[in-house]
Structure 1
Amino acid sequence: MLSIGLILVMFLIGFLGSFLSGMLGVGGSIVKYPLLLYVPPLFGMAVYTAQEVSALAMVQVFFATLGGVWAYRKSNLIDKRLVLDMGVSIVIGSLIGGYGSKFTPGEAINLIYGIMAVVAAVMMLKPGRKENGDGQKTGEKFHYNRVIAIGSSFIVGILSGIVGAGGAFILIPIMVSLLGIPLRVTIASSLAIVLLSSIGGMVGKIMAGHVLWFESAILIVGSLLGASFGAKVGQTANRGFLQGTLAVLILLTAVKVWYDILF
């Protein structure tokens, strides 16, 4: 059984991580991974392996994206063909990555996370597009390179499956910059794609035996409450400031991971 202190810490990690991600509209694993890795040991409560942390993060991603897809279910912004193209390949990739994490040293998982965190921070620090700059109208048709879409999502799936991330913070820039997908369609469709990715990744983690079910349950409760509250606050907050703040947080975390690996 977990101590009361550890239960409270896990709940707060779920709440805080999803509160921040809820304000920005991104997945929460990029925040929860370092919190789960460093906060419990900081208070002398528990030490989780990189494999266990990535499994906890992947379970949270599933429920977070499921809620997002449910919110978009009545809109026409989720492009079914795009979700099918990228979703199938990312599921296969995340299954491989999720199960492959069983044979991946913890240092390697942290290294992959560190690289992804740096890339995510750089992308978030870039000036954002204006909301009306995508030119997308509901139901409007668009074209994209299916080879790039399938190949890139497969690679993102493998990496995300290893570290326990949904991959939205990497997928969104790929979809907008490389594939030319309208921004609003990208946001909605990426949720569905990452939901599929998290299914594959979570199954891989379960097969690898890394899922801690009791901790996962506490994390999910905190995540659902935090994401809902964060989304409400994010509607009135300055998005550019929030993105910059999160980018700095992710970059500092990446520096910490790199420092632990090198020194």
Structure 2
Amino acid sequence: MESAELIGYVAAIVAGLVIGLAGGGGSILTVPIFVYLFQIPPVLATAYSLFVVGTTSLVGSIGYAVKKQIDFTVTAAFAIPSFLSVFLSRRFLVPALPDPLLQIGSWALPRNEAILYFFAFVMIMAAQAMLRQPVLEQPETVRPRFGLLALDGLGVGLLTGTIGAGGGFLIVPMLVLLAGLPMHRAVATSVLIIAVNSFVGFSGDLHRTDLDWRFLIEFTAFSVSGIILGIYLARFVPPAQLKRGFGGLVLAVAVYMLINELIKS
């Protein structure tokens, strides 16, 4: 096993660990791990990421379900339109993206590079959310605004389908502000939404003939071991401090991605 691959498997454990400790955030690293450490093409990397994120989050959601912390009514209101959006984007939008995506005169922006630029932008937003750690005030009314939840679900589904990340940094604030969920229930509900969202998105890639199932299952096993460890350590490690530290790591990786892609172009 090459050193880059070894680092990649360790990073898979770290990504799962963060999801277990903080309820989300770790999945944002899976695509860069696949692209830069395992040399997997970006579009295929987003498909792999959906499977890994889905499996890892599903394991995490089982514990929340046992503790009855998941709001299944809110999950359905947010997730049904999100499922539709993520499946359509994976099955039809991503394959239909032209290559190059943009061309002006002699300059062209290849599809793979465009996806990585967009992913780096999303990573910066996620890092900002983790570093700032905003305090979300519980709304005075706890009546869920299902229409707005559905619209937000459509947007998150499009994001998940396009870049292969769970989008927990977007889902959790919306569940607090629009559904009136307490933070711990919002995190638990978000993990379940991410799990099913990711699997629905991955189903749009099952027609592919280049899926390396052995590698995918091995990588996922490392990530799942990380979330199991994270759920155990969550009783001892302050998640707010972890998120700030991890936010700095995500920001550093995003900057590396941008610099790397600019140098190559």
- Taking structure 1 as the reference length, the TM-score comes to 0.84
Identity among equivalent positions (%) equals: 21
Do 1:37 and 1:53's aligned partners in 2 also have CA atoms closer than 8 Å? yes
Counterpart Cα distance in 2 of 1:145 and 1:54: 31
Tell me the residue number matched to 2:114. 108
For 1:12, give the aligned amino acid. V
Do 1:15 and 1:225's aligned partners in 2 also have CA atoms closer than 8 Å? yes
CA RMSD of aligned residues (A): 2.6
Q: How many residues align?
A: 249
Tell me the residue number matched to 1:71. 63
Tell me the residue number matched to 2:24. 26
Q: Is the counterpart of residue 35 in structure 1 residue 61 in structure 2?
A: no
Do 1:55 and 1:210's aligned partners in 2 also have CA atoms closer than 8 Å? no
Q: Which of 58, 61, 66 is residue 50 of structure 2 equivalent to?
A: 58
How big is each residue's C-alpha offset from its partner over 1:230-254, in whole Å with a ceiling of 9 and x where there is no partner? 2323321232321111111111122
- Cα distance change of structure 1 residues 7 and 117 upon mapping to structure 2, 3 Å threshold: closer
For 1:63, give the aligned amino acid. T
Counterpart Cα distance in 2 of 1:6 and 1:251: 20
Counterpart Cα distance in 2 of 1:87 and 1:37: 28
Structure 1 segments, 4+ long, off by >4 Å, are: 3-10
- Cα distance change of structure 1 residues 24 and 185 upon mapping to structure 2, 3 Å threshold: closer
How big is each residue's C-alpha offset from its partner over 1:164-205, in whole Å with a ceiling of 9 and x where there is no partner? 112212211222245543212211211221122112111012
Q: Is the counterpart of residue 187 in structure 1 residue 187 in structure 2?
A: yes
Counterpart Cα distance in 2 of 1:210 and 1:90: 26
Do 2:17 and 2:227's aligned partners in 1 also have CA atoms closer than 8 Å? yes
- The alpha carbon displacement at 1:110 in A equals 1.2
- Cα distance change of structure 1 residues 6 and 242 upon mapping to structure 2, 3 Å threshold: closer
Tell me the residue number matched to 1:82. 74
- Cα distance change of structure 1 residues 242 and 229 upon mapping to structure 2, 3 Å threshold: same
Counterpart Cα distance in 2 of 1:69 and 1:231: 10
Gaps of 5+ in 2: 98-110
After superposition, where does 1:206-245 map in structure 2 within 5 Å?
A: 206-209=206-209, 211-245=211-245
How big is each residue's C-alpha offset from its partner over 1:55-78, in whole Å with a ceiling of 9 and x where there is no partner? 121111111121122112233332
For 1:25, give the aligned amino acid. G
Q: Which moved more, 1:55-64 or 1:209-218?
A: 209-218
Q: Is the counterpart of residue 151 in structure 1 residue 157 in structure 2?
A: no
How big is each residue's C-alpha offset from its partner over 1:211-242, in whole Å with a ceiling of 9 and x where there is no partner? 33121111111112111122323321232321
Gaps of 5+ in 1: 41-46, 136-140
How big is each residue's C-alpha offset from its partner over 1:18-47, in whole Å with a ceiling of 9 and x where there is no partner? 12332222153212222222123xxxxxx2
- Taking structure 2 as the reference length, the TM-score comes to 0.83
After superposition, where does 1:125-136 map in structure 2 within 5 Å?
A: 125-129=131-135
Q: Which moved more, 1:150-159 or 1:234-243?
A: 234-243
- Cα distance change of structure 1 residues 247 and 7 upon mapping to structure 2, 3 Å threshold: closer
For 2:122, give the aligned amino acid. M
For 1:168, give the aligned amino acid. G
For 1:113, give the aligned amino acid. F
For 2:31, give the aligned amino acid. Y
Counterpart Cα distance in 1 of 2:169 and 2:244: 14
| Corresponding residue SS for 1:207 | coil
Q: Which of 30, 40, 49 is residue 48 of structure 1 equivalent to?
A: 40
Tell me the residue number matched to 2:100. none
How big is each residue's C-alpha offset from its partner over 1:125-174, in whole Å with a ceiling of 9 and x where there is no partner? 223549xx759xxxxx9312212110111111111111111221221122
Do 1:19 and 1:228's aligned partners in 2 also have CA atoms closer than 8 Å? yes
For 1:214, give the aligned amino acid. R
For 2:194, give the aligned amino acid. V
